[in-house]
């Protein structure tokens, strides 16, 4: 059916030379609509390039393909189409289109966590924008440019700066002549402003911005995935205010739009929000369901980002290959590669031995912790130095007793658990508590809590085989870490090996026993 529709559209587009522009525009507008199936749109957009009669149409068709591919998470392919559009636009001096396509490439790189490459194209977009003559096109692009700059500020957690940039962009969008287009652009801008207010926990301003965004979107008559982002944001605000009933109402609206649009970025936001919601409301079944959906989606994203990074590396290599290497240079490089390969082999072998040693030490420490009575007391030698300490010895012992009880609980798994929270729990003050931890645990509070979290998950992995089947992201969340990367770093700091290596050795250890 899809193939038949593609052929039919191409047939219509090729019927008349005089009607070429209007036919192209009608198909372009249909394909760029977010209300149709994404896979079908990608196929037709690619075919649209093949029947393009002008360089402008080729650029627009390539940009359309890139934009659709980016939304479906196919970042590597999106870059190929976007860079083709940039090349054609630059050669044909289509400055407005080049500015737009460079902005798109900047967005693709930014989403792929390649900000250095992204900012190169953002700069290129700025230069191209200075050559745009048409005031309407210039206004649209200046607004979009401010949004892209705001995204970079948001990535750096500079939310006030982002709001300021977006408000400047708003004045550009207000100059756009076409009413529906202007309203849609203003809707996207207000949604971004609202997001920054949410990050600042200024919920009244955020809700006001979301309501403006909905109003502009209604006036534009555009059925867009943007509506899903708005509902999801409003759900987050209600959840922060403990209004769970209103929160789930907006989350469900956002989920419906996300599942229908195939827009991966929207799905990611909605799934994350629902995971948090069901965790707070203690709905284990739905928490696991959306966590699995989210992890599957993240795998697709990570694969796309890896492909994108590989694409950049491949591009750099292709440039290097254009320089002629003489025979002796090639021989020299070959020798270096052989030496490097041999050195790598020795390093990996040594590292594996070291990893196994760390693994065995970690398991041994785990067994010792199981046998430990945890009746840790203040030693006599420490009592002799009492006069130099500002915590009374009896108080210190009481804090230690309560700390041992705290370690038997799982309260330390709570995300964002602070020194002041523990001080309240143990009925002491932060100065005494910090002193006791530093003195008796030989570390500071943050490292102490992190060590407890890692020891907890190591115990689960060792004692409960089902945990070995979970993804690293799930393990990180289970023991209270905010991100996969932070968990991996701290796990290695505590155990001496990465979570992946630990799991591998654990599997080998159990296999050898069987």
Q: What is the DSSP string of 267-283?
A: HHHHHHHHHHHHHHTT-
Q: Is the pLDDT of residue 301 over 80?
A: no
- What are φ and ψ of residue 222, in 5° steps? -100, 120
Average pLDDT over residues 310-334: 49
Per-residue tokens: 307:
């492909």
Average pLDDT over residues 481-502: 86
Domains 1-132 and 354-381+390-513 share a fold: no
Q: Is the pLDDT of residue 391 over 80?
A: no
| Domain map (residue ranges) of the chain | 1-132, 134-211, 225-305, 354-381+390-513
CATH code of the domain made up of 225-305: 1.25.40.10
Q: Is the pLDDT of residue 252 over 90?
A: yes
pLDDT at residue 108, rounded to an integer? 81
Cα(64)–Cα(60) distance, integer angstroms: 6
Give the residue, 391 or 243, on which the prediction is more confident: 243
Question: Mind listing the pLDDT tens digit for each residue in 400-427?
Answer: 989 888 888 888 888 888 888 888 888 8
Among 193, 182, 261, 166, CA closest to 217: 182
% of the chain with per-residue pLDDT over 90 = 17
pLDDT at residue 373, rounded to an integer? 40
Q: Per-residue confidence at 167, pLDDT binned at 50, 70, 90?
A: very high
Architecture label for domain 1-132: Alpha Horseshoe (1.25)
CATH code of the domain made up of 354-381+390-513: 1.10.10.60
Give the residue, 36 or 38, on which the prediction is more confident: 38
Per-residue tokens: 398:
């009481």
In angstroms and rounded to an integer, the radius of gyration of the C-alpha atoms of the chain is 29
pLDDT at residue 196, rounded to an integer? 93
Question: Average pLDDT of the chain?
Answer: 76
Among 78, 32, 34, CA closest to 226: 34
Positive/negative CA dihedral, 127, 128, 131, 136:
negative
Specify the range with the lowest mean pLDDT, choosing from 74-83, 169-178, 246-255, 281-290: 74-83
pLDDT at residue 233, rounded to an integer? 93
Question: Mind listing the pLDDT tens digit for each residue in 114-147?
Answer: 778 888 888 888 888 778 888 888 888 888 888 8
Question: Mind listing the pLDDT tens digit for each residue in 435-477?
Answer: 899 888 888 999 999 999 998 888 888 888 888 888 888 888 8
């Amino acid at each position: 059916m899809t193939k038949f529709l593609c052929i039919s559209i191409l047939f219509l587009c090729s019927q008349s030379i005089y009607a070429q522009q209007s036919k192209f525009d009608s198909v372009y507008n249909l394909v760029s609509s977010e209300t149709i199936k994404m896979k079908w749109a990608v196929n037709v957009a690619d075919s649209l390039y093949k029947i393009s009669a002008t360089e402008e149409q080729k650029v627009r068709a390539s940009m359309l393909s890139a934009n659709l591919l980016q939304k479906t998470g196919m970042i590597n392919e999106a870059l190929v189409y976007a860079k083709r559009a940039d090349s054609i636009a630059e050669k044909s001096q289509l400055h407005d289109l080049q500015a737009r396509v460079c902005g798109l490439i900047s967005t693709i790189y930014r989403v792929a966590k390649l900000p250095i490459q992204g900012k190169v194209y953002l700069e290129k977009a700025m230069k191209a924008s200075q050559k745009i003559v048409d005031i309407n096109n210039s206004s649209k692009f200046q607004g979009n440019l401010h949004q892209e700059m705001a995204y970079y500020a948001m990535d750096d957690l500079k939310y006030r700066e982002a709001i300021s940039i977006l408000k400047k962009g708003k004045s550009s969008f207000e100059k756009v002549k076409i009413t529906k287009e202007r309203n849609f652009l203003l809707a996207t801008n207000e949604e971004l402003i609202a997001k920054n207010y949410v990050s600042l926990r200024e919920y009244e301003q955020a809700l006001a911005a979301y309501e403006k965004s909905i109003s502009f979107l209604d006036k534009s008559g555009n059925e867009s995935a943007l509506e899903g982002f708005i509902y999801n944001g409003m759900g987050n605000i209600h959840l922060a205010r403990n209004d769970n009933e209103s929160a789930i109402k907006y989350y469900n609206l956002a989920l419906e739009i996300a599942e229908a649009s195939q827009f991966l970025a929207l799905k990611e936001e909605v799934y994350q929000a629902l995971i948090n919601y069901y965790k707070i409301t203690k709905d284990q079944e739905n928490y696991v369901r959306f966590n699995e959906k989210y992890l599957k989606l993240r795998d697709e994203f990570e694969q796309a980002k890896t492909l994108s990074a590989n694409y950049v590396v491949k591009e750099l290599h292709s440039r290097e290959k254009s320089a002629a290497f003489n025979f002796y240079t090639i021989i020299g490089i070959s020798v270096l590669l052989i030496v490097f390969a041999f050195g790598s082999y020795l390093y990996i072998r040594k590292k594996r031995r070291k990893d196994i040693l760390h693994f065995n030490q970690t398991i041994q420490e785990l067994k010792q912790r199981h046998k430990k009575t945890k009746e840790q007391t203040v030693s006599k030698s420490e009592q002799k130095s009492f006069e130099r300490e500002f915590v009374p010895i009896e108080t210190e012992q009481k804090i230690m007793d309560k700390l041992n009880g705290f370690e038997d609980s799982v309260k330390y798994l709570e995300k964002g658990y602070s020194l002041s929270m523990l001080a309240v729990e143990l009925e002491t003050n932060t100065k005494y508590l910090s002193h006791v931890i530093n003195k008796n645990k030989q570390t500071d509070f943050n490292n102490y809590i992190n060590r407890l979290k890692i020891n907890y998950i190591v115990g689960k992995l060792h004692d409960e085989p089902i945990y070995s089947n979970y993804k690293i992201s799930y393990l990180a969340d289970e023991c209270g870490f905010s991100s996969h990367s932070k968990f991996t770093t701290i796990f290695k700091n505590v155990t001496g090996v990465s979570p992946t290596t630990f799991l591998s050795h654990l599997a080998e250890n159990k296999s050898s026993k069987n």
